Structure 1
Amino acid sequence: MKKLVSFLTVVTLLFTACEGPQGPPGFDGLDGLDGEVIASSAFEIVLDLNAANNYEFIEPYGFTVLPTDVTLVYISWEVDNGQDIWRLLPQTEYFDDGVLVYNYDFTQNDVRFFLDGTTDFSLLDPVYTDEQVFRVVVVPADNVGRLDISNLEAVQQEFGITEFPKR
């Protein structure tokens, strides 16, 4: 028993006293992106989505978007007691003849807003197509999974967004 205790003591001391070689130095920023600031950018845009623009609109960001950034788009869905209620896209409206989906996609250069669905867009009341208000938020992708992105206020608070410049 004494030999086992002595052996374990020596092994424990051996492992705690060893130190491996130091690794290589890290980067002074993101890999290959020295000097880029990891921050969120945002803007608000009011659009008419109609036959004249094929029910879509493409907007360049006007600021740097990194390849790993994610674009989130919210639509002003309704107003309750003077308070805007924002919903994360896509959002769906149901009609007797089909569905209307407000949707978007994005690249590193721009964001595209568009109508999708099975309803006849040309028969929609202008309330569904004219003066639609969207808020666009570009965030670092590694933060998206840690946050309730469906809540615009939570996203604003997390990324320090205090205003949405109008376009």
Structure 2
Amino acid sequence: MKKLFLGIMIAAGLMACEGDRGPQGSPGVNIVGQTYEYENVDFGYEPSKNLYATILNVPSEIKVLTSDAILVYRLEEQLVDGNLIETWSLIPQNFFLPQGTIQYVYNHTDVDVELFIDGDFNLSGLDTGFTNNQIFRFVVIPSDFARDPKINIETYDELEKAVHQQDFQLKEFNP
């Protein structure tokens, strides 16, 4: 009986707690990501390294912090039911050719992105379909957003879905 009485007293005491509302917390953070594209990207062959490379500057209108992540997507047009649709593939991206394997890879700083085509065979005769007139989309996002394991960044469409589910915006810019 004492335990029941004690339980009722504690419950009543907790329910009766009232007072002034505490101070309001700081407003939520609005994370703003940015996208930009480069069209007609051509790679130059570097024979001493047996790879293709190009460096693309981050446009001055795009602000990148050293802690931000830059994701790079390569455009591949797909024929679906007789219509060409845009699909964006996250780099690194592999292609398995009769001669061997090539891979698009990249690294970045807060001012530029260096793109490479690396391979396991002599790339000097690589088909220009891989090296010329490429289109890339760059997505600059705060590193905390990119590290969230619930965020799927494998395709641009999945990234856009995640962006719309968060308090996050993508601003587009074409240099």
TM-score bracket, normalised by the shorter chain, equals 0.7 to 0.9
For structure 1, which runs of at least 5 residues remain unmatched after alignment? 31-36
Cα distance between partner residues in 1 of 2:173 and 2:158:
15
2:122 aligned with 1:120: yes
Tell me the residue number matched to 2:54. Answer: 57
Residues 1:42 and 2:44 aligned together: no
How many residue pairs align between the two structures? 157
Percent of pairs identical after alignment?
Answer: 32
Where does residue 82 of structure 1 map in the other structure? Answer: 84
**Alpha carbons of 1:131 and 1:142: their partners in 2 closer, same or farther (altered >3 Å)?**
same
Structure 2 Cα separation of the partners of residues 162 and 108 of structure 1 = 17
1:57-78 deviation digits (Å, cap 9, x = unpaired): 2323222123443211110123
Give the partner amino acid of 1:113: L
Note the 1:154-165 alignment, pairs <5 A. 154-156=158-160, 158=164, 161=170, 163-165=172-174
How far does residue 18 in structure 1 lie from its aligned partner after superposition? 6.1
Letter in structure 2 aligned against 1:97:
Q
SS at match of 1:55: strand
- 1:89 is displaced (CA, Å) by 0.9
Instruction: Quote the residue 1:152 is aligned against.
Output: 156
The alpha-carbon distance between structure 1 residues 148 and 161, as it changes in their structure 2 partners (threshold 3 A), is same
* Residue identity opposite 2:32 in structure 1: A
Unaligned stretches of 5+ residues in structure 2: none
Q: Match of 1:48, as an amino acid?
A: D
Task: Out of 115-124 and 136-145, give the one that drifted further.
Answer: 136-145
Query: What amino acid is the match of 1:59?
Result: L
Structural RMSD (CA): 3.2
Contact 2:36/2:137, CA 8 A, preserved across alignment: yes
- Relative to structure 1, the CA distance from residue 79 to residue 26 in structure 2 (aligned partners, 3 Å threshold; closer, same or farther) is same
Q: 1:134 aligns with which of 133, 136, 139?
A: 136
**Bigger shift: residues 65-74 or 85-94:** 65-74
Residue 99 of structure 2: aligned partner: 97
Partner of 1:72: 71
Q: Indicate how the Cα distance of structure 1 residues 135 and 123 shifts in structure 2: closer, same or farther if over 3 A, else same.
A: same
Contact 1:41 1:138 in 2 (8 A): yes
Partner Cα distance (1:120, 1:128) in 2: 14
Equivalent position SS for 1:72: strand
Q: CA contact under 8 A between 1:59 and 1:112: conserved in structure 2? A: yes
Question: How does the TM-score come out when normalised to structure 1?
Answer: 0.73
- 3-state SS of paired residue (2:153): coil
Shift in alpha-carbon separation, 1:25–1:68, aligned structure 2, 3 A: farther
